[in-house]
Amino acid sequence: MGQTEVLNAFSLYAGLDASVRESGQFVGTKNHISKRGSPYLKKAIWQAAVLSCRFNPKLKEYYQKKLSEGKKPMVIQGAIARRLTQIIYAILKTNQDYNPNL
């Protein structure tokens, strides 16, 4: 299992993966966050993402960039929540403190 699969598995466990709604020949155009995964972990990471949009300089810059591209705030917060799962996984794997400059 490679690094990408492990990161995706952690995001799946947190319930922050997109679910595509398709049936027969119908192809959905909107993706939604799945209902799978731990609801408690999802809520905690989502709340951290909302605060990160305001107080983390790098994620705030990313938020403003995506907002200027026309993305909706909830979509951007979902992307930031997924990024936070990657940051959390890296912290747990390396057993080091968070360094926002990396």
Any idea where the domains of the chain sit in the sequence?
A: 3-94
Give me the tens of pLDDT residue by residue for the chain, a chain 102 residues long: 566 666 677 777 777 776 666 667 766 666 667 777 788 988 899 999 999 999 999 999 999 999 999 998 988 998 899 899 888 888 888 899 888 776
DSSP string covering the chain, please?
--HHHHHHHHHHHHT-SEEEEEETTEEEEEEEE-S-S-HHHHHHHHHHHHHHHHH-HHHHHHHHHHHHTT--HHHHHHHHHHHHHHHHHHHHHHT----TT-
Does the model's pTM come out above 0.85?
Answer: no
